[in-house]
Structure formats: structure tokens, C-alpha cells
Structure 1
Amino acid sequence: MSTSKQFAAVTGAGSGIGRAAAIALAASGFTVALIGRTDAPLHETKAAIDDAGGHAHIAAADVADEGSVDAAFAQIVREFGRLDVLFNNAGRNAGAVPLDEYALDFWNDVVATNLTGVFLCARAAWRIMKNQTPQGGRIINNGSISAHSPRPNTIAYTATKHAVSGITKSLALDGRPYRIACSQIDIGNAATSLTERMTRGVLQADGSVVPEARIDVSHVANAVTHIASLPLEANVLNMTIMATTMPFVGRG
């Protein structure tokens, strides 16, 4: 496989930020592996890439399942021969739930997708990047504004996103001998179906319910593509991209 080509994988590529990032990466010249649990949305993303003249393959997987993840990345090796970028994007939202009402199953489901899934996909990509020639690659983790500051009653989501920051720093350190760079992009209110509720009002720290501004998801996709396109001697360790007027930088 020619090493002049660039190959990327995007988890959660069937919708929202993942779909937008996959389309943007393909438009910038990457051949993209589309990873997700459900075939139909992945085929929709692939069709959008194909229609624009890009190249994408589907590698269906549940990021919380070890065997499923390893099979998807084995498919990537067979079809691409190497992997240059992983956008570790897949995650699940978790609505506001008071701590005393938290069910253990709910906690475990959030942790499985938002934390274990990030670990499993990073590990699978790492194994490829460490052993390929030329050696190296880039892992971009999707964190969140919640990696820095919680919303009310979101202990599971907040804990997992804080933990993603630890994963990012560990990978950025441990990847140095193998030319593996790791970045984290923390996103505030990209306009997707998951954030539609924010236009109607969301709970704030002071107990009020206030609508929040959102940004077009293309700005996030372009930021991911910028990081992905950097040479491996340069890294954006952390990037926050957010709606300018959202309350993250103020007191609430």
C-alpha cells in the first residue's frame, strides 16, 4: 500500500460530529474507514463521501465490545494496509439525573461507551501505528466542555470526559518513542441532533433553564481535519472549539 496516501478512521461516523468529520477528512484527501454500530447511517455517510469524489470504507463495530473493535481494525489493516489518523469520536449523551437516582446499569453503559470505547479503539489503532512502516500516526480524542467543567446532575458523563483527558495525556506521552501523537478536541454545542434540546433551554448551575448558542458542525469538522493534517512533529494537544456565547467561560 502506498504510504503517500493517508488513511483515517472515524468512530461514530454515522451521524453528527463523526459524519461531518469523516466527510471533511475525505474532502482533504484521506481515505476514511467509517466505524459505527448501525449499517444504514454509515452507508449514508459513505454515499455523501462518494458523491463528493472521496473514498470511504465501512467497518461496522460496537466500540464498547473488544472483539468487535479488534475485528474492525483488522479489516482496516486488510483494506488500507496502514492507519494514519484515528478520530476517536464515538460516545453517548447522558441526561441530567440526580445522583441518588442513578442506576448502576446507567452508569456502566455511559462508562462502556465514553471511556472503555475510547480505550479499546485507541489500543487497536496504537497496535497498527506502532508496527507499521513508516511508523507512527495520530489519535484525536473527542473530549467535551465537560472534560473541564460539569453540567448539573451529569456525574457519569462528566467523569468519563475527565477520564478521556487522562487518556489523551497518557497517549501523548507514551506515543513519543513510536511517533504516535495524541490530541483532544473539546467541543461546546456543535449543532447536531444531540444538542437540539439546547435551543429550547438546558439546566444551568444556578438552577435556571436557559437556551444556549450552538455552532455549525462544519467548524468542528474543519478543526479535526486541521489537526489530522499536521506533520507528526507538531501536535495540538488540546483544542476547545465552542459557541462564543455559551456559558462555559463564565459563572452560572
Structure 2
Amino acid sequence: MTITERVGRVVVVTGAGSGLGRAMARGLLDAGHHVVLAGRNSVSLEGTGGGHERAVVIPADVSSPESVHRLFTSVTERFGRLDVLVNNAGTFGPSGSVDEIDPEAWNATVAANLTGVFLCAREAIRIMKTQDPRGGRIINNGSLSAHTPRPDSAAYTASKHGVSGLTKSISLDGREFDICCSQIDIGNAATDMTAGIGHSARQSDGTTKPEPTFDPRHVADTVVQLIDLPLDVNVPTLTIMANRMPYVGRG
């Protein structure tokens, strides 16, 4: 597929101000897409866009229904359609066993990691159902914790398990409207949020040890390839991880 064929696609990336969101947004811009950069910090979003002519900065809080509605209203007013939503915004949340987690911290984690995905998907699907041509693609950032938790990560893990259920429901409900939904589960991409893992990560037996990481540009490349697929093809789940991290019994 050529750059020319990609230019017409309109992509919203949440949490685009840093980390994986920044990497994915820049990869999509390099691939020729129009990318709406959404997040709470407009300065960070501008840094991601770097003045690119196809980058559009729209500050938004994914945990707020009103803010999310304004985001997608702005997208349709500017472009007239939406082809792809990348639900990336999220937080690690509180660390500790279940009995140590503050309920407010729990609620904040669920709001960012799960409710935010729901709110953005809700607005995106309403657009994708009615636009001409109809349909589109939603990519949810899950986690390896959506399958296997780390110690002391109950809030994060529960929220990511919720994302898995939501992804399946969106995929099922969206079929008749040509809406595809995928979940990409990422393990140890090297970002500011995961900086400590390369030095010391707590293991299930209570010990700590450094874990390998990998360049987040490979996540960006993977997302670009997913978006290149026609809407009669879906990838329900995809895992990308540092090969030697202790996840599937290796390491």
C-alpha cells in the first residue's frame, strides 16, 4: 500500500502525549495518515506532533463523557469521518495487594483504563455506523496483564481484563456495520512508564530482577500494519513483547 492510498484515513490516538501513544502517533503520521492527538497535556501533544501538517492536537480527558464527546465532535467537524480509533490512554494505578488499595485510586484506574476505552469507543462507533462509506477500526491497548498479572497490580490487571471483554463485545457488535476491533497486548516496550523494569522488576516469587525491553517503534509498525488491513479482515488479539521477558515460561 502506498502513502497516497493512506492519506485519506483519519486516526484518533488517545494518550498521544508520551510513551507508546507518542510512538504510535508518529508512526502513523510517517505512514501518511491524518492523526488526531488526544490527551490531557496540550504541550506534550504538541511535542508529539512536532508541527506536522497532518497532526491535529485536541486536548481531552478520556474519563469524562463530556470531554470525549467534544473530542469526537471536533473530529467530525474537521474531517467529516473517522477511520480508526487507537484507545491507548491509561495508567498503571496503585501498587499493592487488594487490601492495601485505596478505593479512590481503584476508581481512578478503572476510569482511565476501562471507562475511557468505553467512552471513546462509544463515540467512535456512532460515527462509524453512519458515515459513508461506513465502518472503521478500533485498536485497544491491552496489556500482558490482561492475561497474567504482575504482583501487586490488582487495579491495573482488573481494568485490563475489562478491556479484553469490551474488545470482544465491540468486535461482535460491530461486525454488521463493518467495524473491526482488535486488542494489542504489549510487554516491556521501553518507555518512561516502564523505565524501572529494565533495572528491577518484581517477580511472582517475591524476588526482583531486571527484565529486557524493546523499542516502541515496533509497536507503532504493528499498528500501521493493522490499519492497512481491509475491513473484512480482523485481528482480535495480538501480543508483542520483549522476547526474553518472563511471560511464557522463558527467562
TM norm structure 2: 0.95
Partners of 1:209 and 1:153 in 2: how far apart? Answer: 13
Q: 2:50 aligns with which of 47, 50, 68?
A: 47
- Checking the alignment, whether the CA contact within 8 Å between 2:140 and 2:181 is kept in structure 1 is yes
The answer on 1:188 being equivalent to 2:190 is: no
Partners of 1:5 and 1:100 in 2: how far apart? Answer: 50
1:30 aligns with: 33
Post-superposition CA distance 1:73-130 (Å, at most 9, x none): 0000011110000000000112531222111001001001001001001101111111
Q: Secondary structure at the match of 1:247?
A: coil
- Checking the alignment, whether the CA contact within 8 Å between 2:200 and 2:208 is kept in structure 1 is yes
Post-superposition CA distance 1:40-91 (Å, at most 9, x none): 000111116x1xxx51111110000000000010000011110000000000
The answer on 1:8 being equivalent to 2:11 is: yes
| Alignment coverage as a number of residue pairs | 246
1:102 aligns with: 101
Per mean C-alpha deviation after superposition, the further-off stretch among 4-13 and 139-148 is 4-13
Question: Aligned runs of 1:170-209 on 2, under 5 Å?
Answer: 170-209=169-208
Amino acid of the structure 2 residue aligned with 1:164: V
For residue 36 of structure 1, report the CA deviation from its aligned partner.
0.3
For residue 4 of structure 1, report the CA deviation from its aligned partner.
7.1
2:3 aligns with: none
Partners of 2:60 and 2:95 in 1: how far apart? Answer: 28
Amino acid of the structure 2 residue aligned with 1:28: A
State the superposition RMSD in angstroms.
1.4
Partners of 1:178 and 1:67 in 2: how far apart? Answer: 25
Q: Secondary structure at the match of 1:139?
A: strand
Amino acid of the structure 2 residue aligned with 1:26: L
1:17 aligns with: 20
Partners of 1:90 and 1:139 in 2: how far apart? Answer: 13
Partners of 1:95 and 1:196 in 2: how far apart? Answer: 17
TM norm structure 1: 0.95
Q: Secondary structure at the match of 1:59?
A: strand
1:156 aligns with: 155
Where do 4+ consecutive residues of structure 1 move more than 6 Å? none
Partners of 1:4 and 1:155 in 2: how far apart? Answer: 41
Report the CA distance shift for 1:76/1:207 in structure 2 as closer, same or farther (over 3 A).
same
The answer on 1:86 being equivalent to 2:82 is: no
